[in-house]
Amino acid sequence: MRLRYNYRVYPDADQRAALARAFGCARVVFNDGLRARAEAHAAGLPYLCDGDLSKLVITEAKKTPERSWLGEVSAVVLQQALADLNTAYRNFFASLSSKRKGSKAAPPRFRSKRDNRQAIRFTKNARFALTPGGRLRLPKIGDVAVRWSRDLPAEPSSVTVVKDAAGRYFASFVVEAAGHPLPPVESETGIDLGLGHFAVLSNGRKIDSPRFLRRAEKKLKRLQRALARKAKGSNNRVKARAAVARQHAKVADARREFHHRESTKIIRDNQTVVVEDLAVNGLARTRLAKSVHDAGWSSFVGMLEYKAALYGRTFHRIDRWFPSSRLCSACGALAGSMPLNVRLWECSCGAVHDRDVNAAINILAAGRAERLNASGGQVRPPRAVARPGERGSPRGAA
């Protein structure tokens, strides 16, 4: 499987200037290609194929006085920028024809030098290399210092150099890595993600929500107020914007480290992991939006999924409409409406449930049943037994 390994890099002043030129040239080629296709479409002309577009905005453009400086950077950087544009168009067309799974892809947009993220990509054709001294050799940029937090498991097929909003530089290597199956274990777990607790496992373990953004709000408020007082276009405003970006980067880094630590522990301790397919985009439009974004559920679930594949574990998602919170894990009866402030509830069978632990148990049971059914078994998912006179639907379960 393909994995990305990210490392912090520290270019010197000349290398930062060379990277800035490369970022700018890649951005110009991307925008020129997008503009050429938009103009052809407006004029009723056929869609410009990839080869013709490359000749127009790279090969021929280098011969003009207005774009002669494109020759100052590696040609592979320009070709990869155009490859990104072509991929964006293919995703957009696939969304229009309903061939693409997931959310709809928007049409490509023009890139700006003020974007929070600037990136260029080098493939093997660019002949980037790792020097014996541990530096990253990039064509027409030089040997860049890298902070190696760990060794690469194999030879990288490409490297992407990224500059983030905080002014930090990173090298992102794509590596074809083999799986490393862990010794089998007997335990399985279902996970109920939430806001009161970040995650509750079916064995009763509760992972507290660290609320990184909430804890940094006081400092962020001070920095953002200082930014608002700076005159637009001034150097002080640039410095204040960088200070805000650095603080947001600290929050994101802490959240990512937390997700990696907890996801690795869960994958190591359990043979099967079952989660609920949450509608994060919908929840992010409610009054809980800030807390939902602060939790970062999608990132955490993505880590669980790829680590399960890497370490030989089983990962499964159940339907988001499954009434995990309102379903009694003891008798299968379906409770009525249950507001979020109800954390403990008693079923008519006499069982008293912690709302989140009960949901995690039901998620695990549903995942087991779906996996058995998919393999040819006849086991049904936990059955919601409505009480007499109840008209509640599991689709509205919390």
Pairing of strands 169-176, 129-130: unpaired
How would you classify residue 204: left for phi > 0, otherwise alpha for psi between -120 and 50, otherwise beta? left
From the list 188, 192, 294, 305, the catalytic residue is 192
Residue showing tokens 């040819």: 376
Q: How far is CA 355 from CA 33, 60, 96, 207, 321, in A?
A: 54, 65, 41, 15, 16
Question: What amino acid occupies position 343?
Answer: R
Question: What amino acid occupies position 46?
Answer: P
3-state secondary structure of 169: strand
From the list 32, 276, 305, 370, the catalytic residue is 276
What is the C-alpha separation between 211 and 113, in angstroms, rounded?
32
Annotated catalytic residue 217: no
Beta-carbon neighbour count of residue 285 at 10 Å?
10
**Nearest CA-CA partner of 134 in 7, 14, 13, 22:** 7
Annotated catalytic residue 277: no
β-bridge partners, 136: 130, 144
What is the C-alpha separation between 217 and 244, in angstroms, rounded?
11
Annotated catalytic residue 50: no
Question: What amino acid occupies position 18?
Answer: A
**Nearest CA-CA partner of 136 in 49, 15, 244, 46:** 15
Give the single-character DSSP code of 73.
S
Give the sign of the dihedral formed by CA 244, CA 245, CA 247, CA 248: positive
From the list 188, 305, 356, 370, the catalytic residue is 356
Which residues are annotated as catalytic? 192, 276, 356
